[in-house]
Structure 1
């Protein structure tokens, strides 16, 4: 089974025959090319032309992150699965306001549902969350794209406000991003960046174009569809990982550095990535496929469902956690 590769140190990726080598001052490590499906670079990593060529040939995305864990960009291979019809229909559903709003509303209703599932899970564990559950349940997602985005922002704001009632340590005043102003904001930013890159890799396995999105505005400098898909899974992947790591003391104050903003140190990143990867590999029985699928594969399934919707085969119903 292919797995993501996470590089936390500085170094050079080079090619040796038909495989890769990562070289730095400490050692030289061989990386079997057929064992990986993506590479995530958190250190300063340079790619030799031979390595870049091999990665592009094998269809392996390389994602780059800055020292705060923010996604900066990707080396994106030539599209393997190409359908002009899908891209045309995907663009049509963005340009048509009604069609775009339908999909965006589905995304936000998924976010709302999955946040409520998470809050109710912790409420059953004795956390005082009734106030936040009621507020989020009352929010009706409707209207034009600006109203839908406003509802999304309100839902996230109240969800983040509930963190202090879930977490046993650290404090969350409000969501602050650039740079993260405390430990929890640092964890959220790091986890979200990981999930965005995972979503991008899953979109690559479909006919969808990663730059044509519906909730987030398409941008010249980002693959905004990965933001759309990732947001639905944040509450059950990223936030659940954060709650577990903090509440079990696997992540503590010693795993952060305050350098004009909080960021995880090398050990902290390793702990987070390990738990994040376990969550992605967790399997659940799918009600319609009638087989177990991983959390990671659920993201790809959203891509397949979107394709069926824009082609007129089956109306899109966004992911709602059912377990």
Structure 2
């Protein structure tokens, strides 16, 4: 059972014997380390090397976010599943332009198919998204013509513009007008939710890669440049629509979130702590939700699906099987 510790309050996080201790103005709280995979820090939390050495021994990844909910970085312990053979295979695929584009196309197609699943879900519920579905299908067909990851991402950018243009038809909420995608900084409420949710997904995917033989520094769709990690961005492309987007649309439609849950500072919109907590609870719940796959005799959680995606890429790199990205069917 995966366990995540979310810390919003400022204070000190230290090792106390064989467990963790959070000290702040609310008192002391012990956090048993058994079963913990990740710690997310959203407040100003002080750490020391004793704590970092301890969580390294326990293979716990620590993610930090600033006051506004922007992802700052991760403390990524030394890989305990690292494989020289897998790194060689990843590099071979990355440096072979034909092979890299082939895998990047599969990732882009997987993400696009799941965007279409989101829109079809709302189409069946009477939302006017037929136009966007047809436009996205036409753009998806252009993936096959592209000969570089940058060109694929150019098509993906157009697909996302069409996809996001359907959000206003789905929500019918003046407070959450999409208008256009803005990232750093987000200029309205729905963009703030998308950016925050995506950041959480990138870190979740990073944590699942950590439990496999894959190296998170070597992606295929995203460039392995001066950013530390890129493979987690690739894998997140497949799962963001069905986890983040479905959640935020539900939160708006079910009026779980309102304009009061945001603050505006100089035209830049931020989520308040309560809104962040609601979104995190929703993501956490979704990741724990289990579904039945035709290929398995038992149900698996969405979090497990992310790791299974990593395993499928491993097998593809080793030449054991073809890679087919996960496609949801609601």
Regions of 4+ moved over 3 Å: none
Structure 1 equivalent of residue 252 of structure 2: 246
Aligned residue among 196, 199, 209 for 1:203: 209
C-alpha separation in 1, matches of 2:294 and 2:155: 29
Aligned residue among 139, 142, 147 for 1:144: 147
Q: Is 1:292 matched with 2:299?
A: yes
Q: Check conservation: 1:20, 1:32, Cα contact below 8 A.
A: yes
Alignment of 1:81-160 (within 5 A): 81-139=81-139, 140=141, 141-142=143-144, 143-145=146-148, 146-160=150-164
Q: Check conservation: 1:43, 1:67, Cα contact below 8 A.
A: yes
Q: Is 1:166 matched with 2:170?
A: yes
Aligned residue among 285, 310, 322 for 1:315: 322
Structure 1 equivalent of residue 287 of structure 2: 280
C-alpha separation in 2, matches of 1:36 and 1:274: 17
CA offsets per residue over residues 24-79 of structure 1, 9 Å max, x none?
A: 12221110001421011111222122211110000000011123322221110110
Structure 1 residues 108 and 47, CA, compared in 2 at 3 Å: closer, same or farther? Answer: same
C-alpha separation in 2, matches of 1:127 and 1:322: 18
C-alpha separation in 2, matches of 1:128 and 1:152: 22
Q: What TM-score does the superposition give when structure 2 sets the normalisation length? A: 0.95
C-alpha separation in 2, matches of 1:46 and 1:104: 40
Q: What TM-score does the superposition give when structure 1 sets the normalisation length? A: 0.97
Considering only aligned residues, what root-mean-square deviation do their CA atoms show, in Å? 1.1
C-alpha separation in 1, matches of 2:183 and 2:206: 21
Structure 2 equivalent of residue 225 of structure 1: 231
Q: Is 1:191 matched with 2:194?
A: no
Where 2:241 maps in the other structure, the secondary structure is coil
Where 1:314 maps in the other structure, the secondary structure is coil
Unaligned runs of 5+ in 1: none
